[in-house]
Amino acid sequence: MSAGVETNPPPVLDIGALPTLADHGYDGGRVALRRFCATAFQPDGPRFLRGNDGTLVAFRHADLRALAARPELAAMAPNQLFPGLLSAETSEEKPVGFAIADLIRNQLFSSNGVLNAALRKVLLNQIGPKQTAARGDAAHEIVARILDGLPLGETVDLVERIAEPLIGLYWGALIGMSDKEALAAAVQARKMTPMLFLQTDWDSLCEADAAAKTYRGLVEGAGQRSLDAGGCPFVSNIARDLAEIDIADDLDYGGYVPKTVGAFLAGNLFDGFHTAALAITNTIRALIDHPEALVRLRGEPEKVAAAVSECLRLEPPVIHLNRVVNADFEYEGRIIPAGVRIMMMWGAANRDPDAFPDPERFDLDRSHQGSTTFGGGAHICPGRFVASLVARSLLEVLIERRLEIRASGGANDWIDNHAMCQLRRLPVRLERQPG
């Protein structure tokens, strides 16, 4: 470029001029997600949208993958997630919502930069792909134990009788919880669900906050007890790695270093209890709609992992999470300015026909490269290996035992006004295959 020649900077993206989520029928939850995808991915559909609060909404697969890789896109820090709440830490009487905020600030999902990398390493050292794969036999044993306690031919709620006990007992065994504690923690994690609603009423918030306090007491207490007693490598290894982190707290951006191994476990295993239970439930829910897939799996059990991936592509636990722009950056010829919040609609991207042709079709042979079920970029969910393992283990044991799961009544009790695809209940019957 010749000296002295000036170039005009790219224009700022006019978020206010974008069509809205409401224009495409989205107001939270799985039913709304299906409605949204049916219109947003039409040939003349929009590139971006905006939320009611001015949030930029990204929902196309290519945009989500590209944006997630940008260093300017940050996780919501504790003070952004819970403005003003954590300042009440020193007060005697804590406001409603404090227990939730105090729990979630211990999550790596609310950290950025060097702290996010450090906390992620602590967690992945224990629940990375190799470590999780080595626990496959233990997961199978838990599934077998749960199924042994269920009556054949009678209606049971898969959420409360299979999914929550499976993930609760899985984590409980790792951190030294009694079965009673582990099952109670899974129930309390479910009771925290209203914190993920798009709009929360006062009574629901109070119930979720009380559940957060109870859940934290169960998990944090067990973690500290196991550390003090010794003999629990999962907990002691996390405590050792956590103690090596020497990074100052920054509730406005960088994040918060958990002060005890119990606080670390409680914060980071909330998604392990809650979202993984959804992954188990949604896997079975997808197969109820596609019984031919389960028939094929009995002859090709090596396809179980692919089946779980396809089930969770169609019925993803997470619909969307918010990010915030920490510095101006150019994207596709427009400047996205610092301070803008971006709703990352991970669940919608898995139904983008440009990434997954004929997205409504259940295809056991489909490639899942680039799947956004567990997010993407620097903040991708570290619990994805465990969520996949427990869902896969359930299918494998069902196949080994020649058991079928059939819907028994309403299978569409989806929670609306929600950032997740979550069923309140899933009535099913277990039946033995003949022969």
Q: Retrieve residue 277's tokens.
A: 């239970």
CB 171 within 8 A of CB 132: no
What tens-digit pLDDT sequence spans the chain (435 residues)? 445 556 788 999 999 999 999 999 999 999 999 999 999 999 999 999 999 889 999 999 999 999 999 999 999 999 999 999 999 888 889 999 999 999 999 999 999 999 999 999 999 999 999 999 999 999 999 999 999 999 999 999 999 999 999 999 999 999 999 999 999 999 999 999 999 999 999 999 999 999 999 999 999 999 999 999 999 999 999 999 999 999 999 999 999 999 999 999 999 999 999 999 999 999 999 999 999 998 999 999 999 999 999 999 999 999 999 999 999 999 999 999 999 999 999 999 999 999 999 999 999 999 999 999 999 999 999 999 999 999 999 999 999 999 999 999 889 999 999 999 999 999 999 999 886
Distance in angstroms (rounded) separating the CA atoms of residues 138 and 390: 10
Strand ranges in 292-363 using DSSP code E only, listed in sequence order: 321-325, 329-331, 334-336, 341-344
Distance in angstroms (rounded) separating the CA atoms of residues 196 and 350: 21
HSE of 268, CA atoms in CB hemisphere, 13 A: 31
pTM: 0.96
- The residue extents of the domains of the chain are 15-432
The β-bridge partners of 58 are: 344
The label of the residue with tokens 């929009």 reads 46
Sign for the CA dihedral angle at 249, 251, 256, 260 comes to positive
For domain 15-432, give its CATH number from 3.40.50.1000, 2.60.210.10, 2.30.30.100, 1.10.630.10.
1.10.630.10
